[in-house]
Every structure is written in C-alpha cells, then in structure tokens.
A and B are shown apart, each in its own frame.
Chain A
C-alpha cells in the first residue's frame, strides 16, 4: 500500500464525515465542529473533534457546557463522552456521521434515563492524572486488607508487592518501601474525578486525609464494587506546601488466583477436577499438556520413556535447561515452575505404554487419555483397550511429513466412519529424509507451527469431550502446510 493510498483513505474518511456534520448543521470553530444533538425532549450543544488516528479511532465529543451534562461513568476525566467501547470497533461504523450523531443522541437518552442498563466497567483510573511512578503495584486478596495499613516492597521488573503493614514511625521507614492504606469506596454512582471529590465519599472515621497529611501513608488503595465485580484504584497521594492533597493514579494489578484465571476460558472452572493422561510428552504432547493446564486442567499424568535432546527443543515446549531430563520430567518441571500457584498434580511416568494392563489402568483412572505418541502400536493398543472398556481415547498426530494433522476419537463416539485420510498436499518442495546421529529412524520434517496447531486442535477436542460437547464424534483432519504454487508478487 503506498502512502498515497493511505493518505487518500484517511482524507476521504475525514471529508465524508465532515460533510455529514455540515448537513447536520455543525459549523467549524477553533476548537472543533460545533453543533446541536437532539435527545428526547432535550437538545445539547457539543463539540466534535477528529483524533489523529481517525478513521481508525472514533471522533471525540465534548459538551460545550461540560458541567451542564451529568457526570457519570460514561464520561472521560475531561468531560468527553465515552461513546465507543474498545470492543465496539467493528467496521469503523463511526465514519458515517449520521450513525455517529444518532449514537450521540442515544448516549444522551441513556444519560437522561440514568443509565438503566449500565455495564460495570472497572476503570476508575481514567478519572485521575497518572503518577510519575511507573512501577506496577501488585496486590493479592485485597479485601482481606480492608481498613488496614499495607506496605509495598520493591520487587523485580519494577514491581511493588503489597503485604500487610502497620503504621511505622517515620524514622523506621525503609526508604525503598512505600506505605499505604486500603479503604472501601461505597458511593460510586458517579466516578470521583479528583481528591476532594473522593475524600468526601470516604468513611470520615478513618481520617484518611490526616493519615496522608502526617505522611503515615503515601499510597491509598481504594476498593469499590460495580455489580458483582471488585475494582481497585491505587493512588499515589502527596501533600504540598499548602497542605493540600494531590492524588495520582498508579498502575496496579491483582495477583490473585481468580484474576490470573479470568482469561483461561469460559470452561476453565469445570476442568479443575478432571484428570487427564497424555501418552507421549514429545513435541505435540508437551504443548497439549501446557494448553490443558492454561485452560484449567490441574491433574495430569505424563507418560514417555524418552529424554530431551538439543534437537528436540525447537519443536518442544521446554527450553535448553531441560536437555538431559526425561521428557515427562522436563514438562512436569516446566509446568510447575510456570504455574506454581495452581496446585498442580503432575505424575511423570518414564516408560513406554506396552501392556494392555497398563492401558486399562490408564483409561480407568483418568477422565480422558490423549495419545500423542505418534506411534502406531501404542495407538492400536490404546484403541483396543478403550473399546474393551467401553471408553474413548483421543489420538493426535502429524502425518505426511507434518503437512497434515489428524485428531481421532478412538473408537468414534457414535456409529460414524473414521475421519477420512486427506490427500497429501502438493508441497512443491522435495522432501528429503532427515537423519540425526543416534536416531535410528528419519526425523519428521514437521515444522513447529504444525506441532502447535495439532496440539491446539487436540486440546479443543479434548475440552469438547470433557465438557460433554464433542466437536466431532470421529475427530478432525486438516492440511497445515503451505500448498500449491507460490504466488508471484
């Protein structure tokens, strides 16, 4: 794309938007486009400005009389209307000024009605100036510290870790630590926009202002609730020569287990008590294990007789420090280290799955067995064992030199045919067999991305089966290598 193309794209968007504003009676002023927006029985004059990133960011709208419009969670600190949520950027819809003006009208109508269907955004930070302290203030289960002194100690990567503290005489304070207090803000019908506004809403008996002025604390952790959600505002509070308090917002984040599990997926809570075995802790098996733990599984059995060699690393989950460890131990250590707070139960079994008895045990003692061994005899053994037990195992492997992956539910969950074999894609490249010293058979040329894709698909099917919503009764197969002739560009 040339710069001309870009410039024209942006210029047209601006022109078209502004022409629409003119049609709606807006006029240019030194501060932006000025005009009226009707809503219900009322009319409000607003100023619309286009941000530097327009049309990729929506226009900014500020009431001409900032105080005449009620303050709410739906306004920025400077009075601008919060019109477009981050998750509502689909299609750059605001480039149509008529639609945008209609949206402003709807905002005012919602405001007039008192925001009946408000969603509980937890972003009180927006209403305060940022502190010059750019460290990240980390806290755990903060509600246990309500109405208590806390202390932040410096930690690595410019973080500050919160712990219980007491009021400490100035002389004994460590100059590296910072001292604070946790207080609950009950009234958040409208967001406080400065210290004076906030102080009037804090419990008077806690004398927060006095604590700040006598320099007992320099950090105030303000907790608040919107709906069922807990919000935390970390403020850097200071006193100037006139004894006035200034509050600036610090970057803060929760280290609680709940917070760290928020992004694990909607089904994560239901996977915590499921027990899964992975046969084969090589490339695919290691990523399957990692993805399952990230998705909420806490109990894994890993079975593999092999050892990590340097050549394995490029397609394996673990790093160079694991060379020489068995694969199951390497994966176990990696997962424990990365997820130390999850109370993982990881059994590492250094052996090949060779007997029917072992296979029965494995199937009987786990909610699901995933076969990532890519070994025909192991796969056949597990299938027969599963069939004889009336159970199912999930098998995953890359085939055709890594050009295709297969996921097979063995036996299928219903009376359906097995997933058909895909035609071998036209790879264009000559596939020469690769050998490494010490390896008796050729090395698969499957690339790392194919490994991750196969593992990811296997986990998708596994979670489907575990949650009673299998994606396919027989499995899935897909080509994952670049195919066909190269495009000339």
Chain B
C-alpha cells in the first residue's frame, strides 16, 4: 500500500502552469479592455469574465488557451450570433492587428474569436453570450449556425468545482489536474479532451464513489470510477450529464477509434493505479504512477522516483533498511 505523499505533491507542483498563470490574466485584461472600448458592445452591457480550466484552477502546464466569457445582458433580441461575432472580430482585429509574421492575430472560430498572444505563446478565446430566457443561464453561438444559440452556464461549473473541492478536503481540484495530466499522457492530442475528463471526474465525485485519505488513494479511486463512466459512455452510449444545465449532457467530437482508445487506456490505467496502491515496494509503486502521469510540459517525468530508488524502481544500495548494519558495532556500545 504505497501512498508516496511527497511524490504526489511534487507531481502536482510539476504540472502547475507556472508563468502561464501570470500571463493568462494579463492577456485577458487586454482583450477585455479592447471589447469594453467599443461603444456598441458597451451599449449591450458587455461584461467579460474569465472562465474555463484556468478560472477553475484545474489547468495544467502548459496553458495554451484562456477562455473569456463576454456576457452581453442588454443585447437586443434581433442581433444574430453572426452579427455579434462579426462585431467582436472588428473590435479585436482593430486592436490587435497583425503579428510579426504579418498574420492576423484575431481569428474567427465557430462560436468565438481567438486572439493570439505570441509573446506569451497563448490564445484568448472570447465567446459572446446572451441571457437565456430563464434569467439565470446564458446562451452562446451554436457551432456552424448563423443564428442558433445553445444554453450554457460556465460560471456555475466554477462554483460547483469549489464546492466539490471543499467537500473532499481540497482533494477534488488536484485530482482533476492529475486526471487531466493522465489523459494528456495516455491520449496526447486525441479526443476526448481535458474538459470531458474534468466533467467525468466531477461526475465520479458527485456519484459518491470516489474517496480516499491522500492523493494516491483519491487518484486510484477516481480513475476506477472515471474508467467506469468512460466505458458506459463509449460502450453503452450512456451520456455524461452537464452539471451546470439541468437536462443537458456533454457533446464531444471524437472518432469511434478515439473513444475506444480512451475507454481501453483508462480501464488499464485504473487497474495499474489499483495495483500500485496495493504495492508495498515504494519503488515499484512509483514506477507505475510515473507511467500513468507521463511527462510534463517541460518533458520531464511528472512523477519522480522517491528517494532511495533508482529510475527502474529498484532500491539503491545506499538506502538504509531496518536491521542493516550502518555502524559496524555490537549492542551496548561505549565511547
């Protein structure tokens, strides 16, 4: 039963975003200022806020995208999603223009505008949002449609994350990070992405099936339940509910091959973590966790071998063990 408390703390430190954490709010402020300088958007009551994994403190190294949710509470009913995206483009392009290579820094996407910040190696996605008829949630443009909107409530997820974290003595947020890192290690750039696994983690915790006393036991427990959720999703088509909007479920763009790979990889990962947790040899347990968490954005092992062990998990000759002769002396020594 290896818990490797310090090694998990170190692993979490190694996937912390670092400089990106400081750059993200800077980039957000620049986009926010640009949008608020436009009289039309101001007239619509523009009120941009940070959302996404960065805002929920579950982002891991590196942060490439920062999401800005631009609430427009006063937008008239007749303004189409295309019109508002056009307006966003003009405002942002006027402000940010071209980069050093002569490329536009502002790019149109399906439902948002993406502004590049080459100096930070980072993008800010600005998503326009109008109030939903329920008066509580919001709507954002539907992908591929000129004037279709879909319901969303991103700030609710921020609140739900905080509540879940508090309910689990601060273990929920670090486990989301470890799960996102595991996804990155096992699936790379394939889908499903980090957001799907964050919601799968939330669903796993919300089910009551995840518990633990430390990072290792929480991680293994969460992987077990997430694997079950992913298997249900992929094999049986059981949807993953969106906890922020009642009745909604999560939609993802992933091929059947990608989904099958995700299911199989996470099933194997859950088993590996379980075995590692039961392993009494700290070196072998660490080797297993190291394999699951892979490399960080700096291309270094996220999970380091504990002191006293070689990189292959074997114990170093220098490590003391009880009963080993450290001092060549008998009992009842005198000096």
From B280, B309, B320, B329, contact of A23 by CB (8 A): B280
Bound CA–CA A12/B333 (angstroms): 26
Q: Is A93 among interface residues, defined by CB-CB distance under 8 A?
A: yes
Q: Is B214 among interface residues, defined by CB-CB distance under 8 A?
A: yes
Q: Is A16 among interface residues, defined by CB-CB distance under 8 A?
A: yes
* B282, A92: Cβ atoms closer than 8 Å: no
Q: Beta-carbon contacts of B208-226 to A below 8 Å, as 1s and 0s?
A: 0000011000000000000
* A94, B319: Cβ atoms closer than 8 Å: no
> What is the chain A residue whose CB lies nearest that of B330?
A90
CB distance from B319 to the nearest CB of A (A): 5
Residues of B within 8 A of A18 (CB): 5
* B213, A27: Cβ atoms closer than 8 Å: yes
* B307, A12: Cβ atoms closer than 8 Å: yes
CB distance from B22 to the nearest CB of A (A): 31
Interface SS, A side: helix
Bound CA–CA A36/B10 (angstroms): 29
Q: Is A168 among interface residues, defined by CB-CB distance under 8 A?
A: no
> What is the chain A residue whose CB lies nearest that of B216?
A22
Bound CA–CA A294/B272 (angstroms): 67
Bound CA–CA A284/B330 (angstroms): 29
* A9, B322: Cβ atoms closer than 8 Å: no
Residues of A within 8 A of B1 (CB): 19, 22-23
* A12, B326: Cβ atoms closer than 8 Å: no
Q: Is B189 among interface residues, defined by CB-CB distance under 8 A?
A: no
Bound CA–CA A3/B328 (angstroms): 22
* A11, B308: Cβ atoms closer than 8 Å: yes
Bound CA–CA A93/B320 (angstroms): 10
Bound CA–CA A133/B51 (angstroms): 66
Residues of B within 8 A of A55 (CB): 320
Residues of B within 8 A of A23 (CB): 1, 280
* A96, B331: Cβ atoms closer than 8 Å: no
Candidate in B213, B322, B323 with the most chain A CB atoms within 10 angstroms: B322
Q: Is B306 among interface residues, defined by CB-CB distance under 8 A?
A: yes
Residues of B within 8 A of A90 (CB): 329-331
CB distance from A94 to the nearest CB of B (A): 7
Bound CA–CA A88/B3 (angstroms): 30
From B6, B307, B322, contact of A95 by CB (8 A): B322
Chain B contact patch, size range: 20 to 34
Q: Knowing A5-B318, A15-B306, A88-B331 are in contact, say whether A96-B214 is a contact too (CB < 8 A).
A: no
CB distance from B190 to the nearest CB of A (A): 35
Q: Beta-carbon contacts of A66-101 to B below 8 Å, as 1s and 0s?
A: 000000000000000000000110111111100100
Residues of A within 8 A of B325 (CB): 91
Q: Is B332 among interface residues, defined by CB-CB distance under 8 A?
A: yes
From A13, A22, A28, contact of B320 by CB (8 A): A13
CB distance from A328 to the nearest CB of B (A): 32
Q: Which residues of B220-237 are within 8 A (CB) of A?
A: none
Residues of A within 8 A of B308 (CB): 8-9, 11-13, 15-16
> What is the chain A residue whose CB lies nearest that of B214?
A22
Bound CA–CA A18/B6 (angstroms): 11
* A93, B3: Cβ atoms closer than 8 Å: no
CB distance from A119 to the nearest CB of B (A): 13
Bound CA–CA A445/B62 (angstroms): 73
Q: Beta-carbon contacts of A1-36 to B below 8 Å, as 1s and 0s?
A: 000010111011101101100110001100000000
* A15, B6: Cβ atoms closer than 8 Å: yes
> What is the chain A residue whose CB lies nearest that of B3?
A22
CB distance from A17 to the nearest CB of B (A): 9
Residues of A within 8 A of B326 (CB): 91-92
Residues of B within 8 A of A15 (CB): 4, 6, 282, 306-308
CB distance from A57 to the nearest CB of B (A): 13
> What is the chain B residue whose CB lies nearest that of A18?
B5
Residues of B within 8 A of A28 (CB): 5, 214
Bound CA–CA A80/B306 (angstroms): 30
Q: Is B27 among interface residues, defined by CB-CB distance under 8 A?
A: no
> What is the chain A residue whose CB lies nearest that of B331?
A90
> What is the chain B residue whose CB lies nearest that of A23?
B1
> What is the chain A residue whose CB lies nearest that of B325?
A91
CB distance from B6 to the nearest CB of A (A): 7
Q: Is B324 among interface residues, defined by CB-CB distance under 8 A?
A: yes
Bound CA–CA A226/B319 (angstroms): 42
* B282, A16: Cβ atoms closer than 8 Å: yes
* A12, B280: Cβ atoms closer than 8 Å: no
From A9, A22, A96, A99, contact of B318 by CB (8 A): A9
Bound CA–CA A201/B330 (angstroms): 41
* B2, A19: Cβ atoms closer than 8 Å: yes
> What is the chain B residue whose CB lies nearest that of A24?
B1
Residues of B within 8 A of A27 (CB): 213
Bound CA–CA A87/B319 (angstroms): 24
Residues of B within 8 A of A8 (CB): 307-308, 316, 318-319
Q: Beta-carbon contacts of A82-125 to B below 8 Å, as 1s and 0s?
A: 00000110111111100100000000000000000000000000
> What is the chain B residue whose CB lies nearest that of A13?
B320
CB distance from A294 to the nearest CB of B (A): 15
Q: Is B207 among interface residues, defined by CB-CB distance under 8 A?
A: no
CB distance from A52 to the nearest CB of B (A): 17
Q: Knowing A19-B282, A23-B1 are in contact, say whether A9-B319 is a contact too (CB < 8 A).
A: yes
Q: Is B39 among interface residues, defined by CB-CB distance under 8 A?
A: no
Residues of A within 8 A of B329 (CB): 90
* A92, B320: Cβ atoms closer than 8 Å: yes
Binding site for A on B (CB under 8 A): 1-6, 213-214, 280, 282, 306-309, 316, 318-326, 329-333
A8-B316, A19-B282, A55-B320 are known contacts; what are 12 more A-B pairs with Cβ within 8 Å? Answer: A8-B308, A9-B319, A12-B307, A13-B308, A13-B319, A19-B4, A27-B213, A90-B331, A92-B324, A95-B321, A95-B322, A96-B321
The 3 closest A-B pairs by CB, nearest first: A12-B308, A96-B322, A11-B307
A to B CB contacts below 8 Å, 12 in the list? A13-B308, A16-B282, A19-B3, A19-B4, A19-B280, A23-B1, A27-B213, A92-B326, A94-B322, A95-B321, A96-B322, A96-B323
